[in-house]
Chains A and B, each alone.
Chain A
Amino acid sequence: QKEVEQNSGPLSVPEGAIASLNCTYSDRGSQSFFWYRQYSGKSPELIMFIYSNGDKEDGRFTAQLNKASQYVSLLIRDSQPSDSATYLCALMDSSYKLIFGSGTRLLVRP
């Protein structure tokens, strides 16, 4: 079992809708979680990180963490075509390495 699991997608949503990206992890002791966005041919860009159970909002983005169920999600409100990218979920292990999921490709249709 992979440490961080993501559905590869593509997840297709219409412009203006809410995109919901999900991620599960296997190590119950994990504490720190990160969402990165990666456009094709570019390097990852940090969107948000979350440490505590519950929701964390930043603009159109909301990260949700549920440690009991071992999942992390990212909601994108009012999705725009420019949000079309691959979204990478990652957890930080005890040696500060990031363990990445394989990413979910999001497609926002105009």
Chain B
Amino acid sequence: GAVVSQHPSRVICKSGTSVKIECRSLDFQATTMFWYRQFPKQSLMLMATSNEGSKATYEQGVEKDKFLINHASLTLSTLTVTSAHPEDSSFYICSAQREGAYNEQFFGPGTRLTVL
């Protein structure tokens, strides 16, 4: 199967601190990964597309200086929420695209961020 991991699964931090979330594809290489955010009882919102070896592409309204993305290898992308505030509290989920005929996206288990 296609397994994607995320770490940490849950993080609580103080306002103003930075938090790094890791997304790894465990059994396949992923040139492209995606970062989503989901607020309670709402659908997934795509934040950015992470491309290995190049800059991420951010969706409209997402601050690239606040949500730093690094895709340094074919199996790892990181999202850093800088100077976090309570309104950044959310469920952050990554997905990795398995390249091939179908380009399916497989999701990580998500990271629940709570900013106090």
**Which residues of A are interface residues toward B (Cβ below 8 A)?**
32, 34, 36, 41-46, 49, 51, 88, 92, 95-98, 100-103
Q: Is the CB of B109 within 8 A of A97?
A: no
With A42-B110, A43-B93, A43-B109 known as contacts, the answer to whether A100 contacts B104 (CB < 8 A) is no
Size category of the binding interface on chain B: 10 to 19
A18 to B58 CA separation, bound complex (whole angstroms): 40
Majority DSSP secondary structure for residues of B touching A = strand
Q: Is the CB of B104 within 8 A of A97?
A: no
* Minimum C-beta distance from B36 to chain A (A): 9
With A42-B110, A43-B93 known as contacts, the answer to whether A96 contacts B103 (CB < 8 A) is yes
Question: Which residues of chain A have C-beta atoms less than 8 A from B105's C-beta?
Answer: 34, 46, 98
Q: Is the CB of A49 within 8 A of B102?
A: yes
A96 to B51 CA separation, bound complex (whole angstroms): 12
Q: Is the CB of A92 within 8 A of B103?
A: yes
Q: Is the CB of A49 within 8 A of B49?
A: no
* Minimum C-beta distance from B82 to chain A (A): 23
Q: Is the CB of B43 within 8 A of A88?
A: yes
